[in-house]
Amino acid sequence: MTKPVDERQDLARPAEGQEPPPRGKRNDTPPWPSRLPPLVNWPVVFAIPFVITAMLVVVYPVVYGFWMGADPDLYEDLFTDETYLRTVWNTLVFVGVGVNLKLVLALLLSGFFAVGSWWIRGLLAVSLLPWAIPSVPALLSIHWMLNPQWGMLGTLLGSLGIPNPDWLIDSTWGMTAAIGAHIWKWLPFWTLIMLAARMAIPQDVYEAAAVDGATGLRRFFWVTFPMLSNVFLTSALLSTIWTLSDYNSIHFVTGGGPADSTHVLATLGVRYAFDVGDVEQGVAVALSALPVIVPLIIVLVRRLGREGF
């Protein structure tokens, strides 16, 4: 029996010795990123500009700074410099008093702002202004307020019959003013951190403590503070690192005076490098703080890496 022939297939079939008609050209070539070597992909390509920028902006200045401060004679001169030794003591006082007083006040104020009244919330918004405004005009205004001749604070105290302290003339009062300005500037930020940590404490814990008779101060010391201890310690480490590098509070309030008696390491290094013109000595002053800063950073990173921070 003869098999029927499909005329359409017969017409579509090319004649013997004739090339088939060209079809639409199909592009089977994969896109160029997939043709790159296995280790070269989009994340690596996009990271190249960042790596180059980090090398130029971070790595090169740090390596160059270590190279400039590698001479041991620089540190021998520092350790016999009375101004540097006074500056080390000022730095310890500035960091020790500033960090501890700032965080203790922030912890106490966070309890006040945790109350849900509407006027307390408004007061919280106003209290954030010192941290929100730029540092330079704020600290310069404090400097002019402390001027012994026409400063606002001296005029106010004089109208009340209180003698105006020598804020910018006496070194002790100068350090007091700089520490006060630093606390005024950064207290709102740390208060906000402590307040957020307080609000994260479950209310069930407080209810259980109330059943056991822990109220008032007992609740604070036995419930609130233990649950805030991790945040408090981590904040103390971070605040210590930031305070060690605080340049504005000293420079714009006291200028390191009188007679370089209120300098800290952050400001003395700049003075030696740019005012005196001894760049290597200024770098050595900055590098002398590394034995304190590096362990603090290591401890901070290890704490942040722990589970349950």
Q: pLDDT tens digits, residue range 272-293?
A: 999 998 999 999 999 999 999 9
Neighbour tally for 25: CB within 10 Å: 6
Query: What is the pLDDT at residue 30?
Result: 64
Q: Domain of 266?
A: 82-305
The domain tally of the chain equals 2
pLDDT digits (tens, 9 = 90+) for 46-81: 888 888 998 888 888 889 989 998 889 999 999 999
pLDDT digits (tens, 9 = 90+) for 32-44: 656 656 655 667 7
Residue 22 has pLDDT above 60, yes or no: no
Statement to judge: residues 244 and 282 lie in one domain:
yes
What is the CATH classification number for the domain harbouring 100? 1.10.3720.10
Report the distance separating Cα 191 and Cα 231, nearest Å: 12
Burial class (CB in 10 A: 0-12, 13-18, 19+), 86: middle
Statement to judge: residues 267 and 153 lie in one domain:
yes
Statement to judge: residues 206 and 292 lie in one domain:
yes
pLDDT band at 102 (very low <50, low <70, confident <90, very high): very high
Statement to judge: residues 150 and 247 lie in one domain:
yes
Report the distance separating Cα 94 and Cα 102, nearest Å: 11
In percent, how much of the chain has pLDDT > 90?
53
Statement to judge: residues 121 and 60 lie in one domain:
no
Domain-embedded: residue 117: yes
Domain-embedded: residue 183: yes
Domain-embedded: residue 26: no
5 against 77, higher pLDDT: 77
Residue 196 has pLDDT above 80, yes or no: yes
Query: What is the pLDDT at residue 20?
Result: 56
Domain-embedded: residue 20: no
Statement to judge: residues 197 and 64 lie in one domain:
no
Residue 191 has pLDDT above 60, yes or no: yes
Mean pLDDT of the region 138-148? 92
pLDDT band at 218 (very low <50, low <70, confident <90, very high): confident
Residue type, 303: R
What is the chain's length? 309
79 against 303, higher pLDDT: 79
Residue 241 has pLDDT above 80, yes or no: yes
Statement to judge: residues 51 and 200 lie in one domain:
no
| Ordered alpha helix ranges (H), 128-170 | 129-132, 135-145, 152-159
Nearest to 224 by CA among 114, 73, 76, 101: 114
Confidence (pTM):
0.81
Residue 15 has pLDDT above 70, yes or no: no
Statement to judge: residues 91 and 234 lie in one domain:
yes
Buried/exposed code over 5-22 (b: 16+ C-beta within 10 A; e: otherwise): eeeeeeeeeeeeeeeeee
Domain-embedded: residue 171: yes
Mean pLDDT of the region 254-281? 92
Residue 270 has pLDDT above 90, yes or no: yes
Domain-embedded: residue 174: yes
Query: What is the pLDDT at residue 211?
Result: 82
Domain-embedded: residue 116: yes
Statement to judge: residues 47 and 133 lie in one domain:
no
Statement to judge: residues 273 and 239 lie in one domain:
yes
Burial class (CB in 10 A: 0-12, 13-18, 19+), 281: buried
Mean pLDDT of the region 10-37? 57
pLDDT band at 309 (very low <50, low <70, confident <90, very high): very low
Statement to judge: residues 47 and 90 lie in one domain:
no
Domain-embedded: residue 100: yes
Statement to judge: residues 195 and 299 lie in one domain:
yes
Mean pLDDT of the chain: 85
